[in-house]
Homo-oligomer: A and B are copies of this chain.
Amino acid sequence: MRIVVLAGGIGGARFLRGLKSAVPDADITVIGNTGDDIHLFGLKVCPDLDTVMYTLGGGINEDQGWGRTDESFTVKEELAAYGVGPTWFGLGDRDFATHIVRTQMLGAGYPLSAVTEALCDRWQPGVRLLPMSDDRVETHIAITEAGTGERRVIHFQEYWVRLRASVDAEAVVPVGAEQAKPAPGVLEAIAAADVIVFPPSNPVVSVGTILAVPGIREAIAAADAPVVGLSPIVGGAPVRGMADKVLAAVGVESTAAAVALHYGTELLDGWLVDTSDADAVAVVEAAGITCRAVPLMMTDPEATAEMARAALDLAEASR
């Protein structure tokens, strides 16, 4: 079974671990969001790709869900001693090595897809991990400064990590997306898929950014495979992260049903909501999307594997 998953960071990575456990023999291609990539200290950092790679490769810091386990912060402390920032982005020493290797390879002319493959040679994530694009795409967020009332457009990471989404996101702009091309293998994997899954990743800045790369949305809409999604909103709030802030920026309510309708029937054949959102089922089905309510909290690997099985069952039913 060929499964294609569009993944952001923590939510996508944890779901993928459950999916691998549910169908160990499946051929899984992950199309990873690179819209939250950022250049820090002259190094190219790809937080979502790395979170998937570290999580599936056994190197993730399980408690925080991102970054490396058994991490130290000597380089970061030294950079701060030089007065070089930003200090709000937590790069550990082990993590730095990944960014150093990536930046060196990019500088030598390798595309990000080839670099990602080389990094995965070490981590053996058990999936084929593709960046959505080899082209540079970086999401920016329009905000109004709390103190000055000044309107500013800041990098997504500054909004998410430094400000912790404490002010409203007025617009979400995936800079570079319009000019980007899908990375080699992305459209081919979508066309050849037996199932396409939107895991409970952020619908705007993760899955939405992937869909903003011209050609990807169209390929998914045109694919023979059923497309099923899992709601990242449970009981009217994001399971983790601050997805409500960026959903509001695109005029979408933070409910399981509203996210399904945001993706729409053009993309979705099936949608899973949490059992606590069972009343959303009728709304989503009325829109023409097959919908089921199942437990959607990734509390442990077995619960996550069960979610993955429910998604595959729903795909089968939506075929």
Contacts and interface: CB of A to CB of B under 8 A. Distances in A.
Interface of A: 41-43, 72, 74-75, 78-79, 81-84, 93-94, 96-98, 100-101, 103-104, 107-108, 118-119, 121-122
A41 B102 CA distance: 10
A96 B81 contact: no
Nearest to A103: B42
Copies of this chain in the oligomer: 2
Given A75-B100, A97-B75, A82 B119 contact: yes
Contact of A42 (B74, B107, B121): B107
Which has the most chain B C-beta neighbours within 10 Å: A100, A104, A107, A119? A100
Nearest to A73: B93
A42 B93 contact: no
Contact of A75 (B42, B96, B108): B96
Contacts of A103: 42
Given A41-B104, A104-B41, A97 B122 contact: no
11 contacts: A41-B101, A42-B108, A72-B74, A74-B94, A75-B75, A75-B93, A81-B122, A82-B98, A82-B101, A83-B122, A84-B101
A82 B54 CA distance: 13
Contacts of A119: 82
Consensus secondary structure, chain A interface:
helix
Contacts of A107: 42
A96 B42 CA distance: 13
Contacts of A97: 74-75, 78-79, 81-82
Nearest to A74: B93
A84 B84 CA distance: 26
A98 B79 CA distance: 8
A72 to B, nearest CB: 6
A12 to B, nearest CB: 23
A136 to B, nearest CB: 15
Contact of A74 (B74, B82, B84, B118): B74
Contacts of A122: 81-83
3 A-B pairs with the lowest CB-CB distances in the bound complex, closest first: A78-B97, A42-B104, A74-B93
Contacts of A93: 72, 74-75, 78, 93
A41 B107 CA distance: 10
B78 A104 contact: no
A79 B94 contact: no
A108 B42 CA distance: 9
A80 to B, nearest CB: 9
